[in-house]
Amino acid sequence: MEEKIIKTEYSEVMQKSFIDYAMSVIVARALPDVRDGLKPVQRRTLYDMHELGIRYDRPYRKSARIVGDTMGKYHPHGDSSIYDALVVMSQDFKKGLPMIDGHGNFGNIEGDGAAAMRYTEARLEQVTQEAFLADLDKDVVDFIPNFDETEKEPSVLPVKFPNLLVNGSEGIAVGMATSTPPHNLIEVIDATKAYMNNENITARELMRYIQGPDFPTGGIVTNKDDLLSIYETGAGKIKIRGKVDVEKGKGGKINIVISQIPYTMIGSYIGKFLSDVAALAETKKTQDISDISNQSSKEGIRIVIELRKDADVDNFINMLYKKTRLEDTFGVNMLAISNGRPETMGLKEIIKASVDFQYETTTRKYENLLAKESAKREIQEGLIKACNVIDLIIEILRGSKDRAMAKACLVEGKTEGIRFKSRESGIMAQQLKFSENQANAILEMRLYKLIGLELEALIKEHEETVANIYRYEDILARKDSMAQVIMNELDAIKKKFGRKRRTVIDNCKEAVYEEKRLEEMDVIFLMDRFGYAKTIDLSAYERNKEAADSENKFVFPCKNTGRICMFTNMGQLYTVKVQDLPFGKFRDKGIPVDNVSNFNSSQEELLLVSAQSELNLYRVIFATRMGMVKIVDGGEFDVAKRTVAATKLQEGDSVVSVVVMKEQKNIILQSKAGYFLRFSVDEIPEKKKGAIGVRGMRLSEGDTIEAVYYTRLSDEASVPYKSRELVLNQIKAAKRDGKGIKVRA
């Protein structure tokens, strides 16, 4: 076969491939269909369980069996995605109406994951069986080939209510995401019926029935007035709070009890909330907390915060709303697949799509039932007619040579070759005009059907069939009759599976937290060589001065209301509020500064740590690896930002030394090649922090500054250099920008 090479632009291939991939993720994986509110993996899992017969009234089956069967038949995208979908569909704290009944460890609201699929079991919930899968055998939806065309799967499940609203949906596609909050089943069904009675109904009128989202975790929606805009456009932000109660504790103390949490807090964020509350006490943001405990159980959430007797309860609760995720925002973007394409839909559009789908499936259902009942009536009428002339039928059967001859007589009245007892019987046989189906039924009829009671039952069954046909024709012919059928099904679902609303919808005042002014005091900042920092009071430092100075890399006094400035070798300045550091005993470990600042100890090195208040009084000297030096007024580092550039660096350069300029008179630059240059600090010009500086030492190619020393006029300080002590003030004084002198061992 001759090789065929197609030349094309690489950019065009990439563009087409990316669009194909994006549409595959959008339509076939990440977004739900507005008709059944399900993503493909959810739909396939439910359908596979239906096919396996794992009904709500039958025993549980291993999750691994369900996952393997689903993956092998319908969803070839890995077992983890299928099992994750199965787990989520069983969790009542994530779904307003769970679709799967899980048995075993299916995770919990606090973020613990489900056990491995080989340990857990599952089966369909009753609502799933009756409202999601019930009519699949009536040709109500289209079936499409699976990935390898060996099986058929439904393109959509015949869900009988707007499941997208009831259970909500979350998913991230390519360039878009969906985030639909769950709603109350009773309210959604009432709104659906209201739309069916008046298709011109507005979103505002629908909100008479749907108050707002109904999260499984309860909570309080605080911006009721914003909901109309969200439901009209399909996008917006919902503010939710946890439910907080105040109880009397032991010894006159006050207990703050959180019994419901925001929907956005489920999972690991509960643990994060507890640590955030503990951090408020540790950092002295509040001194009202005496204890905190998580008493949650299978019965529900119960987080207890014990306060001191004189605590300002309202202010403390407002602090929780402001400083933790007890008040959070749920971003709404009701994006779903509609007519094969992603579309952001408002409340009315979602209900309309669901109702249109109900009319479509109901029409197909009753067309299917009508066809079956019509076929049944044909057979019944044939059998009743046959019973009335049963003697003639028996005579035809006994006189025929084979089945074909008898059937030809029954259908077409052909009597050739059939022996009749009399000429009259032959004439009567020629008048028989049964249909093909009736003739087959007569030929297959058993003798017990001739019993009188059986005949009466047949006539009664025929009357029921005729009544059903009349009813089905009426439903198909009149829209109001079909609407009544749909609404009756909705009422039955509401009565059987509806539950009371959990989430309160209200307009709440914004939480106002008055932060208590911190009483200013002098403290000592300590940081060890591992980067663990803390503050202690002056008396504790005085008692342990020798140990504190020897065990810590940075030790200096500061105010507890001030800031700490940290300069790094990469020319960055990181600031930390002193009150963010733990204040305690001398032997307390402290916390890594990485945790309270943007500093990353694995990528940068701290050169100077100082109180911001001290920097305001002095100037700062910078020296870099490439020999650049400058002096900057310390006031320039009085900034509120957590991270700023302390100096500008040339490409490939880094800071070697940063010191606060106090009594230093001389600076000594030592290069890697062994050159030393000593000159007066007065020769270093003052620059802005955004400047590179000036050259302090002329370096040979490949040479760099290795160390920087400072001396006072009468200082006889020495440093070890190779095999001897080098007295710094004995180095010959020179001018800035010189090459320096070579010091040999």
Active site residues: 119
- Tell me the DSSP string of 565-611: EEEETTSEEEEEEGGGS-B--TT---EEGGGTSS--TTT--EEEEEE
Strands 563-568 and 572-577, sheet pairing: antiparallel
Query: How far is residue 106 from each of residues 90, 119, 121, 569, 624, measured CA to CA in Å?
Result: 8, 10, 9, 49, 58
Which residue reads 């002339």 in tokens?
389
Edge to edge, the sheet with strand 327-333 lists: 169-172, 177-180, 327-333, 235-241, 220-221, 504-505
The two tokens of residue 447 are 């003798």
Sign of the Cα pseudo-torsion (402, 404, 405, 411, in order): positive
The two three-digit tokens of residue 562, written as one number:
């001030």
In 3D space, the residue among 666, 684, 662, 691 whose CA is nearest the CA of residue 676 turns out to be 666
Angle at 137 between CA 135 and CA 140, to 5 degrees: 60
Q: Which CA distances in Å does 580 have to 125, 575, 709?
A: 50, 11, 33
CA distance 25 to 635: 54
> In this structure, how many other beta carbons lie within 10 angstroms of the beta carbon of residue 132?
25
CB 76 within 8 A of CB 88: no
* Locus of tokens 């595959």: 24
Beta pairing class for 504-505 and 220-221: parallel
**C-alpha to C-alpha distance for 393 and 298, rounded to whole angstroms:** 71
Following DSSP, what letter does each residue of 233-255 receive, concatenated?
HSEEEEEEE-EEEEEE-GGG-EE
CA nearest neighbour of 186 among 107, 303, 97: 97
SS3 of residue 656 by DSSP = strand
The residue assigned the tokens 């993956």 is 71
Write the single-letter amino acid at 412.
E
- CA-CA distance, 207 to 187, in Å (whole number)? 9
SS3 196: helix
Q: What CA–CA distance (Å, rounded) separates 97 from 366?
A: 28
Nearest alpha-carbon partner for 335 in 163, 168, 177, 203: 177
How many whole angstroms separate alpha carbon 435 and alpha carbon 103?
54
Q: Tell me if residue 337 falls in helix, strand or coil.
A: strand
Beta bridge pairs of residue 542: none
List phi, psi (to 5°) of 562: -90, -165
Furthest C-alpha separation in the chain = 151
> Three-state secondary structure along 9-31?
CHHHHHHHHHHHHHHHHHHHHHC
3-state secondary structure of 181: coil
DSSP helix/strand/coil, 679? strand
HSE at residue 256, side-chain half, CA atoms within 13 A, is: 26
Residues counted in the chain: 745
